[in-house]
Structure 1
Amino acid sequence: MLTLPIPMIVALVLGFLLVRSWLKKDRSSLFLGLLASCALQGVVISLVQHYGLAALRPLQPVTATIIPPLAWVTFQATAIRAADARRDFAHFAAPAFTAFCVAFAPVTLDLVVPAVFLTYGVLLLHALRPGADGLPLTRLEAGDLPGLVWRGIAFALMLSAFSDGLIALALATGRAWLQPWIISLFSSFWLLCIGGLSLSQSLGEIEADLPHARVVSADDIQSDTELMAQLNRLLAGGELYLDPGLTLARLAKRLHVPVKRLSAAINRASGENVSRFINGFRIRRACERLEAGDTVTTAMLESGFNTKSNFNREFLRVTGCTPSTWLQKGRADLALTRSAESRLLSD
């Protein structure tokens, strides 16, 4: 009777998610490629470790080292900057070098493969240090969530390097029988983490429209006060911040200033990052819609959110309570006000 090992089950799950995302057309080709590479690795591990296809063993480290640079390129192109084929393609020297090692220096693979995973995991964590304002192509409605998702992917990559260390320890202590179990369990976990996290709604495909800001001199730079006044005038109409697809890059482009200049001004003037600042406008608009009698869902859509989890999280952060609790408090306050007015009239 044919049994399915854990990596194969993970590969089937990722394959299903890949097909669903492709049919829905809600992910960029890079995200789909990341899902496909994770699913492929699950299949290769299963065939080698559980079905005894030794001929595919040399392929396993090569397909594995495709994933970290692909995750990095996907991160850069969907969160930081527009895609650059020449610069991005250079990162795939990692699997090419791994293939070279498979052919000519297999003894080095125990060092090369974990080094690739660890390097790209650390690169991701370092790139995420600036926080939400360092991800100009992500939707502002998602708040800090995109950064948390990418940190999860970074730690999943680093976990693979840790599992390689466990394998080396098992072999050194005469417990070689643990190797297939370590590979299956750890690889299944990090593959599922990377594949699942890459489907987060906060990482949807965003048009890469970073402003090509000119270099400005110190005399030409607006003061924070002037820039914030210009920003507030732009937001006063409401149409811009009500766009669920608004990003820091698009906002900077409308103001004709560099991304870093705008985020720094908002940080200093408000003490908040850009996503929290813009979402504050959105939540205040949502409160107005709730007061006008809209349902929570209608208020969410009318205030620039298209994901309920993002809306609830930001509503709680800004108001200190959930939308339903806020509505109940509003009704209670209204009832008290009407009761007081009735007593005054009766007196």
Structure 2
Amino acid sequence: MFAVPISIVVSLALSFVLVRMRLRGSLAPPLAVLLGACILQGVVNALAQYYGLPVFRLVQPVTAVCVAPVAWLALRSAQGRGGAPSAGLLHLLAPAFVAFCIARAPEAIDAAVIAVFACYGAAMLLALRSGADGLPEARLDAGDWPPLVWRAIAATLIFSAVSDAAISLAVVSGEGWLKSWIIGFGSSLTLLLVGTLASLPALGRAPGIVDATAAPAAAEAAAESDAERGRDAAIMADLERLLDGQRLHRDSELTLSRLARRLGLPAKRVSEAINRQTGENVSRYVNGFRVADACQAIDAGRSVTDAMLGSGFATKSNFNREFRRVTGMAPAQWAVSPRMLRPAELTPPAPPESIAGPQAT
């Protein structure tokens, strides 16, 4: 009876996601490459393990380790640190080393694959220590989700290293029959997780704008001085003019990188000013303006959906999450709640004629 290997099923599912998101233009090229690498590896796994084709058994470890550096380069691109294409060529050393092991030192193949996945996963976790502000190309309406998704991808790479270690242990302990099962399920699960995480809306594409005149990163002072606090305050005043005056927060594609370009400053300098002046990261700061805008729209009689789209949120899930974080209630609850139960800083002043009595509902 004809059967389809699980890795082929995973590749078909990820192919559908890739084509759909590329047609919609919602997937950045580095993430599309990551999805493509996962799709290719699923096919290679099936041809090597399920159909037993010798040439693909040799190729399988090489194509497998390509997923890790591709994930790393996708993260660096999201952090605005993609660099020159030649820099990415250095990461070809990982698959090249595994290919060398296949040809000259077969006993070292498993250790090499484990090391590649573990090292890239750990490096990604270290690179994500700065949180949401370290991803200037991420859409701000996604809130704190982008770094969480990237951390999940990094953890999945480490899980792959653990899965490969389990394969080696099974072979050494004389339970080699488990190898195909672990590869079939462990590797397929890894590819499915990485591919699915890479396609989540939280990592959705924000159109980039080439900025040939970006200012160099400002030198960090050893300690905060009165002059620096003054500069921070000036940046915040300019930000407020952009967000509150020009309603820039209503742009659903807004990113830290684009916001910094409007200010003529490095993205890091903008995030530092917001962090020091408000104690919030950039996405939470901007989404605060959006939520306040949405609250005013709802109070003016507009529907929750119109308020969401008009205030700069692109997805309902992000809107609901940020609205509840800022106001402590869902948008629908806000629409029917008495004024006295709302946060004072988000509630517009009551008109004089309504002060004498309770608000009508």
Equivalent residue for 2:300? 292
Kept after mapping to 2: 8 A contact 1:77/1:208: no
Unmatched segments (≥5 aa) in structure 1: 343-347
Q: Are residues 332 and 254 of structure 1, via their aligned partners in 2, closer, same or farther at CA, if it must alter by over 3 Å?
A: closer
Structure 1 pair 172/300, CA: closer, same or farther in 2 (3 Å)?
Answer: same
Q: 1:29: which partner in 2?
A: 29
Quote the residue 2:264 is aligned against: 256
CA distance in 2, matches of 1:199, 1:155: 16
| Paired residue total | 340
Task: Tell me how far 1:72 sits from its aligned partner.
Answer: 1.0
2:289 aligns with 281
Per-residue Cα deviation, 1:47-81 (whole angstroms, up to 9, x for no partner)? 21112212310100011011111111111113333
Normalised by the size of structure 2, how large is the TM-score?
Answer: 0.88
Q: Report % sequence identity.
A: 48
Regions of 4+ moved over 3 Å = 208-211, 214-222, 330-334
Provide Cα deviations, 1:183-239, integer angstroms capped at 9, x if missing partner.
111111110011011111121223165772246577996522222222222222243
Alignment-derived partner of residue 212 in structure 1: 214
Secondary structure of 1:52's counterpart equals coil
User: Which sits farther off after the overlay, 29-38 or 59-68?
Assistant: 29-38
Distance in structure 2 (CA, Å) of the matches to 1:150 and 1:208: 23
SS of alignment partner, residue 176 of structure 1 = coil
- Work out whether 1:243 is the aligned partner of 2:245: no
The answer to whether the 8 Å contact 1:81/1:137 transfers is: no
CA spacing shift, 1:29–1:95, aligned 2, 3 Å: same
**Is residue 308 from structure 1 mapped to residue 316 from structure 2 by the alignment?**
yes
Taking the aligned partners of 1:130 and 1:274, their CA distance within structure 2 comes to: 12
Conserved in 1, the CA contact under 8 Å of 2:290 and 2:312?
yes
Structure 1 stretch displaced more, 254-263 or 137-146:
254-263
Structure 1 residue 332: Cα displacement? 10
Counterpart contact for 1:137–1:208, Cα < 8 Å:
no
Match of 1:228 among 224, 236, 255: 236
Return closer, same or farther for 1:265/1:115 CA change in 2, 3 Å cut-off: same
**Paired residue for 1:52?**
52
Letter in 2 for 1:283: V
**What are the Cα deviations for residues 122-164 of structure 1, in whole angstroms up to 9, with x where unaligned?**
1110111011111111111111111111111101111110011
Deviation (angstroms), 1:17 = 1.4
Task: Please name the residue that 1:126 is paired with.
Answer: 126
Contact 1:82 1:209 in 2 (8 A): no
Which AA in structure 1 matches 2:298? L
- Give the CA deviation at 1:104: 2.0
Deviation at 1:246, TM superposition (A): 1.1
Following superposition, the deviation at residue 251 of structure 1 comes to 1.4
Q: Distance between the aligned counterparts of 2:115 and 2:123, measured in 1? A: 12
The answer for the alignment partner of 1:327 in structure 2 is 335
For residues 274 and 190 of structure 2, what CA distance do their matches in structure 1 show? Answer: 37
Structure 2: gaps spanning 5 or more residues: 343-352
CA–CA distance in 2 between the matches of 1:292 and 1:145? 30
CA contact (8 A) 1:149 1:197 kept: yes
TM-score by length of 1: 0.91
In the alignment, is the contact (CA less than 8 A) between 1:81 and 1:208 conserved in 2?
no
Show the 5 A alignment for 1:56-135. 56-135=56-135
CA RMSD of aligned residues (A): 2.4
Q: Distance in 1 between matches of 2:32 and 2:232?
A: 41
Assess, with a 3 A threshold, how the Cα gap between structure 1 residues 147 and 107 changes in structure 2: closer, same or farther.
same
- CA gap of 1:320–1:26, structure 2 versus 1, over 3 A, is same
| Structure 1 residue 116: Cα displacement | 0.8
